[in-house]
Amino acid sequence: EDIKEPLAAMTAANKALLCTLTLLLSSLSLASAWFGRWRRPGGGMRVAALRVRPGEDIKEALLALAVREGFRAACVLTCVGSITECSLRLANAEKGKSNPTMDVTGRHEIVSLVGTFSNDGSCHLHTSLADCAGKVVGGHLMGDMRVFTTAEIVVGECQDIVFARELDECTGFPELVVRPA
């Protein structure tokens, strides 16, 4: 039978649920397929550390490290430090609509920095930042993340895989695609 007819009759909520389930099943299938590779002798993770100095941009430093070290599938393992400014995209992603953004200024402690990046320039970072009163804000790192005193970052590279980004029709964003090295 033609699958287009039932899809056309689905509500937006049902289409979103179908998209989410498809992504979940794809992720589970990928994890299952790659689990053995992660444990294989000779695979594993290469680790690097860097200090980003006052006034420097954290995202630029990470991408420069990826190019210098040839990282094709890197992730931030941990980061401590402080910043004076950055731009965040806040939650509430909706395909076809722009998300709210927030410019963070003033001295903030880096409570967390997580994400993936590679030497092809692709980068997806999220951060949480605390001000002097302990109030925390967080989101997707959009722009410069300028260091105040220091940023001490430990990075890992998964050696048997390559990260890429491709436009996902369900989300409307370039999303992570994991491939064999």
Mean pLDDT by 10 residues, the chain (181 residues): 51 57 50 46 82 98 97 97 96 75 96 97 96 96 95 96 92 89 87
What's the pLDDT tens digit per position in 65-91? 999 999 999 999 999 999 999 999 998
172/169 Cα distance (integer angstroms): 5
- Position 22 scores a pLDDT of 53
What separation in angstroms does the CA of 139 have from each of 103, 136, 175? 11, 10, 16
Question: What's the pTM value of the predicted model, to 2 decimals?
Answer: 0.75
pLDDT of residue 13: 56
Alpha carbon of residue 28 to chain centroid? 19
CA angle 128, 131, 136 (to 5 degrees): 40
| Exposure letters 84-98 (e unless 16+ CB within 10 A, then b) | bbbbbbeeeeeeeee
Q: Which amino acid is at 2?
A: D
In DSSP terms, 83 is beta-bridged to: 108, 147
The confidence score (pLDDT) of residue 40 equals 45
CB 72 within 8 A of CB 164: no
Which of helix, strand or coil describes residue 95?
coil
Q: What is the SS3 string spanning 25-93? A: HHHHHHHHHHHHHHHCCCCCEEEEEEEECCCCEHHHHHHHHHHHHCCCCEEEEEEEEEEEEEEEECCCC
